Structure 1
Amino acid sequence: MHRVCLVIIDGFGVAEASKGNARAQADMPFLAKLEKEVPHCLMEAAGNAVGLPQGQQGASEPGHLTIGAGRVVWQPLAEINRAVESGAFFENVALVHACKRAQEQQVPLHLIGLYSSGGVHSSINHWHAMLQLAKQRKVP
């Protein structure tokens, strides 16, 4: 039986050596020795590999969830994107009920959440979909 060690170094991405690549420029003799002498592999840490939309930069949480589960764990960002694309978002029971109640009582619909293009925890497109839903449901 061989011993195995899982080492996760958050934020320590591996890329081609370049002028702005701090990892490539740093003097790390112990890590260099390990990389030379010990079998190892690199894992993808962004996009579909960790349950995020393709091209989306990764983050600690989705990466750790994927490693811990041993499979891709789709993140809410990707699930909501798929729901918007398929139209299921516009039939979401809770959202439709909130719109219906606001429309029936002629009161504002209050939306609370993150409005950011950061991508891991929020998406501006989700807000646009919510506004589209409110318009479809004739919310005042």
Structure 2
Amino acid sequence: MLWVKTFHIVFIASWFAGLFYLPRIFVNLAMVAPGSVAERDRLLLMARKLLRFTTLLAVPAIGLGLWLWLGYGIGQGAGNGWLHAKLGVVVLIVLYHWICARMLRALAANTDQHSHRWFRWFNEVPVLLLVVAVALVVVKPF
């Protein structure tokens, strides 16, 4: 079980690294000067590759978490409301990941009109979600 936990944490950390960096690429895309095709194409390529890799990391991260929950019974039983709250946060993280994918498609199609300032704020969302998820696991307040 400890190896499963170890790999779960490693995949989660790697997944979040991608979720931290992808919106930063969106900031750079929003700042590209009109007519700078090579720069825009390079940033779109970076974002697509990062999204693909981040998605590949999310699958084992979630799968190992489910294995810990269902296979080992972690968080089951009375006094484990923290896990239900954490699972709610995980759903929000997956939703954020999905929104990033949609935004990348909109940026590639040149239909996204958000400013670089908006993307800078959007970039802070996964930090907040990570803090809440880790706090729920460590503190187990419920």
* TM-score of the two chains, using structure 1 as the length reference: 0.23
Q: Whose helix fraction is larger, Structure 1's or Structure 2's?
A: 2
Q: Looking at both structures, which has the greater relative contact order when contacts are Cα pairs under 8 Å and sequence separation is at least 6?
A: 2
* TM-score of the two chains, using structure 2 as the length reference: 0.23
